[in-house]
Every structure is written in structure tokens, then in C-alpha cells.
Amino acid sequence: MVESNAQFDFIVVGSGAAALTAALTASVAGLKTAIIEKTDKVGGTSAMSGAAAWLPANHHGKAAGYDDTPEEALEYLRATAPQGWRETEDTLWESFARNAGPMLAFVEAHTPLRFALTSEPDVYAEMPGAKARGRMVAPMPLSRRLLGPYARRLRVSTLPQIFTYQETTDNDLYRKPIRTVLKLAPRLLRRFVGNERAKGAALTIGLLRSCLDHGCHLALETRAVELVRDAADGAVTGIVVERDSRREVLGAARGVLLATGGFEWDRERLQQHFPGPVDRLGSSPGNAGDALRMAEAAGAALAHMDQALIYPCLPTRYDGRLHALPAPIHMEPNAIVVDRHGQRFVSEYAVDLGEAIDRRDPQTGEPLHLPAWLISDRTFLRPVLRWYAHYDPDWLVRAPTVAALAERIGVPAAALTVTVDRFNGFCAAGRDADFHRGESIFQKAKAKGRPVLAPIHHAPYLAMPFNRCILSTKGGLRTNAQAQVLRADGSVITGLYCAGAAMANPIGTRAISAGTTIGPNMTWGYICAQDVLRANRPPAG
């Protein structure tokens, strides 16, 4: 535990992927580093995640023969960004593109973590700078025993982490759970006996083990509440933490990193920036925007507050309450997504569906399509659906006809009937003439040769709310390309850094690849620590 009024070189607030990567980088270089986590569990949303990481120009891609360069990654980032973002984000994209590969090499060199490529292409595979493969990696399993007494403090996930991310996607685990378990039985048994876990659990185990080995101090159930600033120049020189209802000051001679995740569990701020219905949250319940409050008090600027990782989810329970379990329920051949007018507005196989669902009226900022619904019929995901519906009896709406279904969910019956008939017509013709479902390189890859169109015509008809499930907000503290926190006038708050979901994410809601949070989050932790190491400030006494 951190001693009272202790002095460190570097303090990271949070224990997710961004925080641990920063702590690892600083501690390997010999900095006296503290990791401060407010919950009684380590790992944050990162530990719960699939840990699929988008890291362009990495050594695994190169070894597998997929040529890639930071320049091509930058070209892709520029080509796929929302209009107007280049002006503010270009230097950050460049910094990320340059550091992603070195970060991964550094992590593998200094931890027991080993990554492997996934089979996914970039989402906008037709755009300049895109790659068909080689940019997405996910960790191989590690034993929880590596964490010793901290093993029971590892944050558990809503996902089955005995499978790797690659096994989950390549075997279509979600649709074929029994077949996948039978196929992988020997290795799953070995993992079970060895207490091994993959995905975000492996990521956290590997990073934390090495942080501890390099002397990092880990303080759980310790909440950062305030920044300590130098009276003369306003530089951040430490933090005030709250533990067991007591406050302590911890000094940080070289810098403080705020890596407290998103602000989604701050209901008020969430409603302010995401007006309209939000179905559920999927992240670690400690993520309540503490970094934003602390840094705003020090004059920090916020940006991209309306951006988030939005993904379709099933209902589940976590920490005793209803929670979001991300699942590709939209990618079923006999399912469509309709808006409040009963009309389709996007290809259901688009991975950046979240952006379409959250599209706003430019005048009012209100969502254009919500409430939205996933519409299907009796044959939709049968065993899976029944299991998850039991968590929330209000979630699944059934009706004997499409018109009756429309009435139950409050959308115009005539419009929904026309939409379903039109979609069924596309199924007969073999082509979605409205939204070209399954036609892009990425959507084809996701369909894996399965049909993408099947008619909705078996009563009873089904509807499920399809509003925003937020896995992590992506708005937060405005930083420069070194992860230093900026004031509104662009000046640097000396000694203060931000990385991960707490920063104004330079990629935003648009899913330009799967894994565009974990990979960049780790990279921004690495970038921050590199800057701390470069900064010429005296070490802790």
C-alpha cells in the first residue's frame, strides 16, 4: 500500500490498459511509480474487454507478411475521420501511428504477454491506407496465478474470457457455442486447470505482473479526488486521494497521468452529452468522469464529449444490476434495425452502426433515429435469446403480426409493414438495394460466407430496443500529441497527462476498426510515459 504523504516520480490514476501501460513504461525506466485505483478490483473496463487492439505497423503484421507503415496508418486515419477533425487531431493521429508498433514491441519485451493477429480487415478496407489484415492483435491467455494475492482482485468480465478473442471470432462462438466448446475442449480444459484467461484478463495480468515486478506501488480502494498544484506556476505536483474516509497527499515529482476511463457512470453528464434513450452501460462502474472534474478545476479544456464506443448488447447482470453485454445481435440474416418512424437507416452489418444510431440533429443535438428497434421473428437466435431475455423481462417484445408489433413499440404500423415487406423483397432478390448489407469487404469478412439476408416472416414477430449501449465514452480532456493536458487557450498544464477513455479521443465514435479503443489507449499511456521520461524534472527524493 502507498504510505501516507508518500513521494513518487510518477502517479497513474486508474488501473486499466492506459494506466498500466504508462506505469510499466515509466517503471521499466526506473521511475518510482504509483498506480491508484478507486475500486477494490484492478483492471477497469480493460480487464472486462475483448482486448482486441488496433495497432498499425506492428511487428506481428510484418512477420506475417502484411506490409504496413505509420504513414499508411496516418493516411487511413485521415481518410476515415469525420469532417473537420483533421484540423485538431492530425498531430495526435501522427503520434499514435508512430508509437503503436513500438508500444506493442515494448510491452511484449517487458511482460509475459504475447499477442497474435486477428483475422479482421480494417473496417473501411476500400479507403486509402487501409489494410486487409495485420493491424489487429489480441493477447494469448495467461494464468491468473501470476498475480499471486492480486488474482482475486482482478476485475471479472461479462465476456467468456477462457476463449481468446481470435477463437471467439473465428469459430463464431456466439452463434455456435457448443460446437466451439467441443472443438476446443482439450485446450479449454488445460486453461481451466491452469487458471488461464485470455482477452482483457490476460492483458491486465501481464501488464500488472510486470508493473509489480518493476516496483510499482498499487493502491486499491483509493480514490484520487483532487490535483495538487504549485502555487507559483500552477504545475501539477501530486494528487489528493481518499482512502478509508481519510485524505492523503501523494507527491508526483515528474507527473500525474489521469487514466480513469470514460464518464458514462456519471448519469448527469451522460444525459447532458447523450440526450435521449441509453439502453445500458457495459463498463466498469467506477468510470464516472473523476478525471474530468479534477482537471477542469485546474483549468483543463474538454472536447469530443458526445463521442463514445457504442455497440449492440444483450442484457446481463453485473455487480448486482442490469448491464450491457456486447454481442453482434444485429448481424443476423433475419434482423433489421428501424428508427422511430419504422424505417431502416443503416446496413445492419456495419460495424460503425453505433455512429448511425447516435446520429444527431445538427440544430438541436437530439438523436435523429431514437428510439430504434431491432426487428426479427421466431427463428431469431433461439437459445441465446431465451437465456438473455430472462435478465430483463421488458426487453423482448413479441406480437403475432408486424402491425401489432409496431403498435406495441409505438412506431407507425403501416411504415413498419412496408419496411419488413421491402426487406423481404430484397431477400428474395438476393440484394439489399437500400443499404448494401454484406457488400463491403469488412461486412463480407464478418459474414464469413453465411447468408446475410433472410426474410422476416415467422410469427411471432420480435422487437428489442436498439438504442445506445455505451461501452465507454470517448470525450474528455483535450491533450496534445505528447498526452499533456491542455487549457482552452492551448497552453500545457505542466505535469498533467491524460490517456485512454478519459482523454478527448482522437478517433471518436466512428469504428474505423474493431479495437480502436484498447490499442490507442495503451499507446497513449506509452506516449505519456515517454514524455515524462524526457521531461527534465528532478526525481522523487
Q: Calculate ∠ Cα 73-79-85, nearest 5°.
A: 100
Does the footprint of ligand FAD cover residue 283 (CB under 6 A)? yes
Q: Of the ranges 2-10, 253-261, 386-394, 418-426, which one interacts with ligand FAD (CB under 6 A)?
A: 253-261
Does the footprint of ligand FAD cover residue 476 (CB under 6 A)? no
Q: How many CA atoms lie within 13 A of 90 on its CB side?
A: 8
Number of residues counted as binding ligand FAD (CB under 6 A) = 44
Provide φ and ψ at 480, rounded to 5°.
-95, -170
| String of contacts with ligand FAD for each residue 212-231, x by CB under 6 A | -----------xx-------
CB of 18 to ligand FAD, least distance (A): 4
Between 523 and 530, name the residue whose CB sits nearer to ligand FAD: 523
Among the listed residues 467, 494, 540, 435, the one whose alpha carbon sits nearest the alpha carbon of residue 227: 494
Does the footprint of ligand FAD cover residue 501 (CB under 6 A)? yes
Does the footprint of ligand FAD cover residue 479 (CB under 6 A)? no
Q: Which of 261, 438, 465, 508 binds ligand FAD (CB under 6 A)?
A: 261
Buried b (16+ CB within 10 A) or exposed e, 272-281: ebbebebbbb
SS3 state at 181: helix
CB of 407 to ligand FAD, least distance (A): 34
Strands 302-303 and 53-54 turn out to be unpaired
Does the footprint of ligand FAD cover residue 500 (CB under 6 A)? yes
CA distance 165 to 140: 9
Does the footprint of ligand FAD cover residue 508 (CB under 6 A)? no
**Please, are residues 276 and 31 in contact by the beta-carbon 8 Å criterion?**
no
Between 224 and 411, name the residue whose CB sits nearer to ligand FAD: 224
Q: What does the chain come to in residues?
A: 541
E strand intervals along 21-124? 33-36, 53-54, 115-117
Residue 299 to residues 227, 263, 296, 445, 476: CA-CA distances in angstroms? 11, 18, 5, 46, 13
Contacts 24+ apart (CB under 8 A), 423-428: 423/336, 423/344, 423/453, 423/455, 423/456, 424/455, 424/456, 424/457, 426/453, 427/333, 427/453, 427/454, 427/455, 428/455
Q: Cell 463464431 maps to which residue?
A: 172
Does the footprint of ligand FAD cover residue 101 (CB under 6 A)? no
Does the footprint of ligand FAD cover residue 49 (CB under 6 A)? yes
- Of 286-345, which residues contact ligand FAD (CB under 6 A)? 286-287, 290, 309, 326
Q: Which of 70, 134, 255, 282 binds ligand FAD (CB under 6 A)?
A: 282
Does the footprint of ligand FAD cover residue 166 (CB under 6 A)? no
Provide φ and ψ at 392, rounded to 5°.
-145, 95
Q: Of the ranges 9-17, 190-198, 412-420, 461-469, which one interacts with ligand FAD (CB under 6 A)?
A: 9-17
Which residues share a beta bridge with 323?
316
Does the footprint of ligand FAD cover residue 25 (CB under 6 A)? no
- Of 169-198, which residues contact ligand FAD (CB under 6 A)? none
Between 237 and 334, name the residue whose CB sits nearer to ligand FAD: 237
Q: Which of 10, 23, 25, 38 binds ligand FAD (CB under 6 A)?
A: 38
Does the footprint of ligand FAD cover residue 484 (CB under 6 A)? no
Q: Residue 393: is the preceding peptide bond cis (ω within 30°)?
A: no
Among the listed residues 169, 185, 201, 222, the one whose alpha carbon sits nearest the alpha carbon of residue 12: 222
Does the footprint of ligand FAD cover residue 517 (CB under 6 A)? yes
CA distance 41 to 14: 11
Q: How far apart are the first and last CA of the chain?
A: 18
Q: Which of 17, 113, 123, 507 binds ligand FAD (CB under 6 A)?
A: 17
CB of 290 to ligand FAD, least distance (A): 3
CB of 44 to ligand FAD, least distance (A): 2
CB of 525 to ligand FAD, least distance (A): 7
Q: Of the ranges 187-195, 377-385, 397-405, 499-507, which one interacts with ligand FAD (CB under 6 A)?
A: 499-507
By the criterion CB under 6 A, which residues form the site for ligand FAD? Answer: 13-19, 36-39, 44-46, 48-52, 158-159, 223-224, 259-261, 282-284, 286-287, 290, 309, 326, 471-472, 500-502, 515-518, 521
